[in-house]
Homo-oligomer: A and B are copies of this chain.
C-alpha cells in the first residue's frame, strides 16, 4: 500500500466478468506500465448488471493481489459496488483514471445501458476523471486480447496526457481480428432486440424463459454508428454521458405541462 501512494498516476481497473477473467488481467498488465494500479472486480461473473447496486446485503472485499504498484480486491457485489466501495473505503486516494474491462464480448449498439463494464465507467465519470470501458468482440472461452493492445494504449495515453474531455466518458469496442484497421469516434447504433426470450417447458409442465435475442440496427448502412465500423474491422469509441437528462427537451416540456 505504501508504494501505491506514490506520485505515479493511480489507475483504477474494474470489470464485470469477475476478477479471474482474462480480459481484466490483460488490462491490468498494460495499465501497470503507466501507473500504480488499484483493482476492484466482482468475485463472480456480473454480466448485464448495468449500474446495479447491492442494497440489501453487506459487501466484503478480499485481497487477491498485493505487489509493488498493484493492489487488487474482489468484492461480492456488482461492478458498480466494486468501484464505489473502492473509492469510498479501500483506495488511498481518488484514482486519476478509471478503466473497465476488457469485456469478453461487445457492448455496442444499445447494449451499453445493460453493461456492467459501462456501469464502472459511468461511476468513474461521476468522479470527474477520464473513464474508459473496453470490450472485445470475442465470445470464446479464452480469447487472445492482443488485438486490443494498440487501442488500449492509445486511449490510456490520451487520458494520461489530459487530451480526453472529462465531461463525457468512453465506450470502446474492438472487433475480433489480428489487427484493427483504425479507431473511429461514433454514436451507439440505434436499434431494437428481437426474439429476446426462448420459452421452454420444464419436466413438470411449467414454462420458463431464457434471455437470448438479436440486435437489429435501425440504420445498418449508416457510417455514423459503431456497428457499421466494427463489422468492417475498425475499433470504435462512443463518447457517453452518465447524466441522462435530455437538457434540450426541458423548456418545451415545461411549456406543455404548465400550458404556457
A residues within 8 Å of B by Cβ?
45, 47-56, 58-61, 78, 80-81, 84-85, 88-89, 110, 112-114, 119, 122, 126, 154-155, 158, 163-165, 167-168, 182-188, 190, 192-193, 195-197, 199-200, 206-211, 237-247, 249-254, 256-258
Q: How far is the CA of A112 from the CA of B126 in the complex (A)?
A: 13
Q: How far is the CA of A209 from the CA of B196 in the complex (A)?
A: 36
A161 CB to nearest chain B CB (Å): 10
Q: How far is the CA of A185 from the CA of B250 in the complex (A)?
A: 6
- In the bound complex, residues from chain B placing their C-beta under 8 Å from that of A240 are 244-246
Q: How far is the CA of A208 from the CA of B126 in the complex (A)?
A: 24
Q: How far is the CA of A19 from the CA of B71 in the complex (A)?
A: 42
Specify how many copies of this chain sit in the oligomer.
Answer: 2
Chain A to chain B contacts (Cβ below 8 Å), 24 pairs = A50-B50, A51-B51, A51-B113, A53-B114, A58-B209, A59-B208, A60-B207, A81-B211, A88-B195, A110-B242, A158-B256, A163-B256, A168-B246, A168-B249, A183-B257, A183-B258, A185-B257, A186-B250, A187-B243, A187-B250, A237-B257, A239-B249, A241-B246, A242-B244
Central interface residue in A55, A85, A206, A240, by most chain B CB within 10 Å = A55
Central interface residue in A61, A78, A193, A209, by most chain B CB within 10 Å = A209
Q: How far is the CA of A248 from the CA of B64 in the complex (A)?
A: 41
